[in-house]
Amino acid sequence: MTKTEKIGQILRTVEIHEKIVNESTEMENDTKSHFLNLSEFIKSCLNDKSKTEKLNSYQINSLKNELLTYWNETISVETEKFWTEVKNEKLNLERKEPLKFALSKNRFRNVEQGIGARKYWNSLKSLESIQHEYSDLEIKKIDQIIFEDEKKRIGILKKCLAKKKIPKSQYLKFGECVAYFGNCGLFEKYLTEKEVTELYTIWENFKS
């Protein structure tokens, strides 16, 4: 692929990026602004011939990777829409696959991906792109990984609640679990309002 072709591919990807971001019902306004500012910066670099003449292959790839970081690291319906459009446009972009990582390791890479899977998997698994990419067995396995992730995280919170303290070794994991249940709206599934308040009190009173 020539330098001109690479630049054209990135600029077309920017168009898809901006469309998904602008239409997003999930992203907060600050996040939208950040991503739109990023795409404006990339366009300013790649639409100016005097600038592109000075860019080497590494710098062009860096701009592409900066654009794709979010779409490569998140699990959501919007992320799937982005990659479906990339595929439909026949853009030659390598996609990282958080769900395939989860299948190979029986866990999610980080809590953010776990949250995304828990929030959106029921919608995602009905999409044609997912059904085409994953077998029925793999879809069921992802169901199980999500179930086990949730079960493990509530176990950690309940142990801390029972002991009324957070072990030093579990502090970061505790914070991740609170973020998981808060973002997924799962507290009321397992805990009373009083217990949730107590959890936050335990967190606030933690001494390193």
Question: Taking 70 as the threshold, does the pLDDT of residue 154 lie above it?
Answer: yes
Domain boundary (88, 113, 128) is at 88
Assess whether 48 and 104 both reside in one domain: no
Indicate the residue type of 175.
G
- The answer to whether residue 45 sits within a structural domain is yes
Cα distance between residue 90 and residue 87, in whole Å: 5
Q: Give the pLDDT confidence of 11-27 residue by residue, as tens digits.
A: 999 999 999 999 999 99
Assess whether 70 and 107 both reside in one domain: no
Give the contacts of 122 (CB within 8 A, at least 6 positions apart). Answer: none
Print the domain residue range for 64: 3-88
Assess whether 197 and 104 both reside in one domain: yes
Number of domains in the chain: 2
Assess whether 135 and 104 both reside in one domain: yes
For residue 4, what are the CA distances in angstroms to 24, 59, 65, 95? 30, 14, 17, 22
Assess whether 129 and 73 both reside in one domain: no
| DSSP notation for the chain | --HHHHHHHHHHHHHHHHHHHHH-SSS-HHHHHHHHHHHHHHHHHHS-HHHHTT--HHHHHHHHHHHHHHHHH--SHHHHHHHHHHHHTT-------HHHHHHHHTS-SSHHHHHHHHHHHHHHTTSHHHHHHS-HHHHHHHHHHHHHHHHHHHHHHHHHHHHTS--GGGHHHHHHHHHHHHHHT-HHHH--HHHHHHHHHHHHT---
Question: Taking 80 as the threshold, does the pLDDT of residue 208 lie above it?
Answer: no
Assess whether 191 and 111 both reside in one domain: yes
- The answer to whether residue 103 sits within a structural domain is yes
Domain boundary (88, 117, 148) is at 88
Burial of 5 per CB tally in 10 Å (0-12, 13-18, 19+):
exposed
Assess whether 71 and 119 both reside in one domain: no
Domain boundary (60, 88, 116) is at 88
Give the contacts of 82 (CB within 8 A, at least 6 positions apart). Answer: 16, 17, 20, 71
Name the nearest CA neighbour of 74 among 23, 147, 17, 19: 17
Assess whether 42 and 70 both reside in one domain: yes
> Which pLDDT does position 43 carry in this prediction?
95
Question: Taking 70 as the threshold, does the pLDDT of residue 107 lie above it?
Answer: yes
> Which pLDDT does position 1 carry in this prediction?
82
Mean pLDDT of 83-96: 94
Mean pLDDT of the chain: 95
- The answer to whether residue 93 sits within a structural domain is no
Question: Taking 70 as the threshold, does the pLDDT of residue 174 lie above it?
Answer: yes
Assess whether 35 and 81 both reside in one domain: yes
129 in Cβ contact with 84 (< 8 Å): yes
What is the pTM assigned to this prediction?
Answer: 0.92
Mean pLDDT of 182-205: 96
Question: Taking 80 as the threshold, does the pLDDT of residue 207 lie above it?
Answer: no
Assess whether 17 and 60 both reside in one domain: yes
Assess whether 105 and 197 both reside in one domain: yes
111 in Cβ contact with 179 (< 8 Å): yes
Mean pLDDT of 89-102: 94
Assess whether 107 and 78 both reside in one domain: no
